[in-house]
Amino acid sequence: LLEKRQTSEISNFLERYPDHLVLNTLFSALCNPLDRVRWNAVVCFGTIVPRLAEEKIEEARVIMRRFLWSLNDESGGIGWGAPESLAEVMCHCGQLRREYLHMLISYMCEDGEEFFQDGNYLELPMLQRGLLWGIGRLCQCHRDEMIEQNIVENVAAYLSSTDSTVSGLAIWALGLLQAKTTAQRIAPFLDEDKGIQIYRNNFLQDVELGFLAEEALQAMS
């Protein structure tokens, strides 16, 4: 079912089943080798968990904490799909966004020298991809709120990544933030023809870094 192209068709089908059965299946799907299956699972989390939160907020919080735990070194897992799913849920649920957005942002931060500056920096580029996609997705849905988080420099730090997808997602997010202070750092990517894949507007798109840079700079102008 999760291989289907239309996420609305998937969501309508899943409404026939109890949430706990659906959610367990979706967690498994986050590790599926097929990109379409993984992204459809992320989108479905963004439909089901906010709906669950309307009536059973504590059960929705359990799901959010399960995502967070999967990103913890002590969990024994890797957390594939967790940042993306956290973000997609928060795009559609204000209550959970207010409670958990700071945690998603913390995955871009390293520990500081002062008290209460505890970061949860994700070192694996594959997880950084998911994190930056999540930040970009939230910027798509709630740009003003994300601007208030003062995350521009956190995101801009990924422009120097050796992983092209990470740097490309950073460019995308900075464009959505209309972060003019980063324009000079993005400009060198204009001539970059390296291609990456980004899931946006319900499709997995092949785009060149140069295109993303041009798109971001236009948004900043």
CA distance 78 to 187: 34
Least confident span in 26-35, 133-142, 212-221:
26-35
CA distance 30 to 80: 6
Q: What is the dihedral of CA 90, 83, 175, 170, to 10 degrees?
A: 170
pLDDT digits (tens, 9 = 90+) for 64-79: 999 999 998 776 678 9
For the chain, the distance separating the N- and C-terminal CA atoms, rounded to the nearest angstrom, is 42
CA distance 221 to 164: 24
Is 214 exposed, middle or buried, given 0-12, 13-18 or 19+ CB atoms closer than 10 A?
middle
From 121, 39, 140, 19, select the one nearest 80 (Cα to Cα).
39
Q: Look up residue 92 and give its amino acid.
A: H
pLDDT digits (tens, 9 = 90+) for 143-153: 999 999 999 99
pLDDT, greater one: 76 or 55: 55
Per the document, the length of the chain is 221
| Mean pLDDT computed over every residue of the chain | 92
Dihedral sign, Cα of residue 68, residue 73, residue 74, residue 77: positive
* pTM of the model as a whole: 0.93
Which tokens sit at 132?
């930056």
